[in-house]
Chains A and B, each alone.
Chain A
Amino acid sequence: MGIEEKLPSGVLLTTVERLVNWSRKSSTWGATFGLACCAIEMMAAGAPHYDLGRWGMEVFRASPRQADLMIVAGRVSQKMAPVLRQIYDQMSEPKWVLSMGVCASSGGMFNNYAIVQGVDHVVPVDMYLPGCPPRPEMLIDAILKLREKILYQPLGAGGRRMLEARAAAGKLPAVAPGAMPSSYRSDKAKRVEWEQAVKEGREEQLRIEKWMEAQRHLQGGGRW
């Protein structure tokens, strides 16, 4: 992405990689790209009730030069697409894109000539967030997943080679970075359960099970 591309491989060790990634993932400032109703939820996530400031990113930069993360919040029309690309190009490396809401992710219910069918036609997207619009927790969840992805991303060509070697040796963790729901990741017991479920290929069933256990109306023979 920058100077590390020019360094010979093997110079940057995993710990350095982790240190750099740690500094990158902390306090990713967002570029404001609110295009529709998702932007309201994005603003709510920045406001005190949800407080993105807990991860040092309550500040949304209007200038792309100071931003690391572009949250595309809302449907991108064909006319807006070149603007979006220009803002993305003006952001300095390293930079990430979070496509918030179904319209940005795939066009959503607007399958028509006016809307770009997924913002990944225009810019590379690092995290897709469904929902119409997603609630602020969903945005926070997506941001936390993205932060985890940043933490484990390979650094430069050497890092990519090392990652490929690890993958070939089968030493990658069962759960890919950024695949575990945040409420499971932040709870140690639930995290172990999820990892076990992924190994058995039943993580979605685990999620339904956990939800059903918490439902009061499913207890006592299914009556309130």
Chain B
Amino acid sequence: MEVNIYTVVLGENLLPIGLIVVKWDNKIGTVLEAKYPEDVVVSPDLTMKIYGAHVLGEEREAGFISMKVDSLNIASYFAGIEINYYVALLLKPTEDATAFEDALIEVASKIFENLGEKKYVEKLPEFYKFLEKYPVLTRDQKIASVLLDPIKSFVFKTLLEHGCVTKDQLQEDIVKNLGVKTFDINAILSSMIKSGLVVSEWVEGVPSEVVFLIRDFEIVRVPSNIKKIPANVKNAIRDFFSKYKQSPRDTAILARAITDPEIYEIIKALKTHGGMSIKEISEKTEIPEDKIFNYIGWLRRNNFIIEVEETNQSKFYLISEPMVITFYPEYQIKSVIERYNEGVLPAKQVIRYLLFLKEAYGGERM
């Protein structure tokens, strides 16, 4: 099954003005390489100002900035002086540019990976729609998105296995295992750090910053807990969960259900209001009926809902829903000590990790 995090549509209250991809050319300065929507007007002066703000920063390295130019708020991510590209989101003055940081970093990383022959251009509408919706994504949705991004997912799996790994090692492993050449490890880790899954810190004697896993998570399928539901729906829930077995494929389905804002909106509406027709769902979610129809098909095929005939009308009931649970990675304590005893990890790195785990212990479900 093809899983795509970016299958989202416009939000009503958050409408950025445009997304631009700009490169620096030593002869002619900033070059607007691509933009979305096509009709967004971008002055050469604006692209120069954004570039100037990036290179004026520390050591011309990759990084995010938010700035105000005339009547625009701008969120921009620079690939660093070697690649010399930036991706900027142009926002209305009322919008908070920093709210887009993680999403922009994620989108920019995907663009920088596909600069050759401008392969990213056809993806710009998807990226733009994802960015529009990102600030209203819940924390659970942001955590779940880790599983849908190949690099983030790889990093998380590596950390599950080893507990703590240097950034250099992670970079090397990504190149070796995924064949990706252009990516920014700091950008990859940024949203995972903000979600409280990992921390990153220098350890004396270790030549590269070390990334520590301090919170594990799982996406699970849970029964719908709506109280007033017909008996046949109750039976359907019982039947489904008596046979249900978790699998990697199902985890991917759950991840899509939780990270796709429109699918998640439909699940939330059904959870709140019980049985609903397509028309009613459309009214509650403000998603057009034709799109609801497609989403309903996907939700039925993947056992989230069932259809029930009620007084000459088809209604849909939720039978299961995705849930993100985060938990303390206690298993890492034993594992990290074993690796120290085997001589794989230096003492100071192990001590730092144990201190992080101690600090993280007892943390509530996030």
Q: Do A and B bind each other?
A: no
Residues of A near any B CB (own CB < 8 A): none
